[in-house]
C-alpha cells in the first residue's frame, strides 16, 4: 500500500561547515551554509538520498519538511512471550569453553525453532545466545539475542518476546520437519537446468551433422580427459567432433550426465554405441553403468 506522507527534521547549528539531515525513513541530504555577510547566509542542499517530491523549510531555524510517497507493508503481527529458565546448579558445572546447546519452541508456533546456547568463556559468567534465523523481532531487535549472566549462583530467568507476522514466516511441511541439522535445497533439478540451452557452452557434433548441447561444468565432472581439454580452450561454445556416433547415441549419453533417467530397455539397440562413445571420451561412470548390460 502506498501513501504520501510528510516527515520533518531540523538544522539549528549554523556554525557547522555542513550538516547531514537524516529523516526517519533513511532519506537524507546535506546542508552546506555559505555566509554572504553578517546578516545573510545561503544554505545549499546537496547529496540527496531518497525520492523527494517536495522540500520546504520554515523560519530561521531551518525546520525541513519533506513530502514523498512511501510503501506501507501490510502485516498482522502477533506477540509471543517465552520465559527462558535455566538452573544455577547446572551453570556451576560448566568449565571454561563448555556450553549447553538446546532449542526453543514457541508456544502455538512449535514449527519455529530457535537455536540457543549457554556458553562459558569467562570464569565467573556465562553468555546466553539465541539465533534469530527468522529475522523477527526478538526482544525488540531483528538480530541474535545475547545476555551476559554474571551470577552463577542464581538461575537464569529471562522474559523473551517474539513479535512477527505468522504469514511471513515459512512453516515446514510435516513430512520434512526442522531438525538441528536443517537444510534447504532448490526445487530445480539438474534436468530442469540443463533443458535450457540458452547458456550452454559445449556442442557435440554428430555423424549426422546435428549439434547436441551441454555444459562444460557438467561434462568435466564425467570426463577427466575433456576437463583437461577445457583448460586450454577459451572460446565458447567448445565444439567436440563426435562423428562416429549419431545424434541419438550422443543425446542418450548426455542425458545420463544431465541427470535424466535413461532406460536400458528403450536404448537397447544403441547400448553398444553409447558404450563406445563413453569409452572414447572417457565417461567413466557411464561405462560402469553400461558394462553389466552389454556383457549379459
Phi, psi of 108 (to 5 degrees): 85, -15
Query: Tell me, what's the pLDDT at 53?
Result: 54
Same domain, 43 and 113: no
Q: Is residue 178 part of a domain?
A: no
Long-range contacts of 249-255, Cβ-Cβ distance < 8 Å, separation of 24 or more: 249/206, 249/273, 249/274, 249/277, 250/204, 250/206, 250/212, 250/277, 251/212, 253/277, 253/278, 253/283, 253/286, 254/204, 254/212, 254/214
Q: Are the CB atoms for 263 and 284 separated by under 8 Å?
A: no
**Residue 61: is its pLDDT beyond 60?**
no
Q: Is residue 135 part of a domain?
A: yes
Give the model confidence (pLDDT) of 139-155 as tens digits. Answer: 999 999 999 999 999 99
- Calpha distance 174→32 (Å, rounded): 60
| Dihedral Cα 287, 292, 295, 296, nearest 10 deg | -160
Q: Domain range spanning residue 206? A: 190-295
Same domain, 290 and 199: yes
Q: Are the CB atoms for 169 and 106 separated by under 8 Å?
A: no
- Calpha distance 296→294 (Å, rounded): 6
Domain boundary residue, one of 168, 199, 215: 168
Q: Considering the entire predicted model, what is its pTM?
A: 0.43
Distance of CA 43 to the CA centre of its chain: 44
Q: Are the CB atoms for 142 and 136 separated by under 8 Å?
A: yes
Least trusted range by pLDDT, from 53-62, 75-84, 225-234: 53-62
- Domain tally, the chain: 3
Q: Is residue 99 part of a domain?
A: yes
Query: Tell me, what's the pLDDT at 268?
Result: 82
Amino acid at each position: 500500500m502506498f501513501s504520501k506522507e510528510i516527515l520533518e527534521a531540523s538544522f539549528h547549528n549554523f556554525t557547522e561547515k555542513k550538516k547531514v539531515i537524516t529523516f526517519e525513513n533513511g532519506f537524507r541530504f546535506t546542508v552546506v551554509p555559505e555566509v554572504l555577510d553578517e546578516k545573510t547566509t545561503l544554505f545549499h542542499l546537496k547529496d540527496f538520498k531518497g525520492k523527494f517530491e517536495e522540500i520546504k523549510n520554515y523560519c530561521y531555524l531551518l525546520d525541513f519538511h519533506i513530502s514523498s510517497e512511501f510503501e506501507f507493508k501490510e502485516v498482522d503481527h502477533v506477540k509471543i512471550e517465552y520465559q527462558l529458565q535455566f538452573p544455577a546448579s547446572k551453570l556451576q558445572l560448566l568449565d571454561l569453553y563448555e556450553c549447553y546447546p538446546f532449542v526453543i519452541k514457541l508456544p502455538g508456533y512449535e514449527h519455529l525453532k530457535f537455536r540457543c546456547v549457554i556458553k562459558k568463556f569467562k570464569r565467573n559468567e556465562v553468555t546466553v545466545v539465541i539465533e534469530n534465523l527468522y529475522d523477527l523481532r526478538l526482544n525488540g531487535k531483528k538480530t541474535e539475542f545475547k545476555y551476559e549472566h554474571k551470577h552463577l549462583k542464581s538461575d537464569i530467568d529471562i522474559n523473551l518476546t517474539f513479535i512477527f507476522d505468522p504469514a511471513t514466516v515459512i512453516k515446514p511441511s510435516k513430512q520434512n520437519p526442522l531438525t538441528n541439522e536443517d537444510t534447504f535445497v532448490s526445487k530445480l533439478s539438474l534436468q530442469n537446468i540443463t533443458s535450457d540451452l540458452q547458456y550452454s557452452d559445449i556442442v557435440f557434433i554428430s555423424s549426422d551433422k546435428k549439434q547436441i548441447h551441454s555444459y562444460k561444468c557438467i561434462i568435466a565432472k564425467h570426463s577427466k580427459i575433456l576437463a583437461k581439454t577445457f583448460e586450454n580452450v577459451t572460446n565458447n561454445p567448445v565444439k567436440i567432433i563426435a562423428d562416429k556416433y549419431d545424434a541419438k547415441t550422443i543425446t542418450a549419453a548426455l542425458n545420463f550426465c544431465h541427470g535424466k533417467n535413461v532406460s536400458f530397455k528403450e536404448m537397447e539397440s544403441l547400448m553398444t554405441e553409447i558404450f563406445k562413445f563413453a569409452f572414447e571420451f572417457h565417461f567413466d561412470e557411464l561405462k560402469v553403468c553400461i558394462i553389466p548390460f552389454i556383457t549379459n
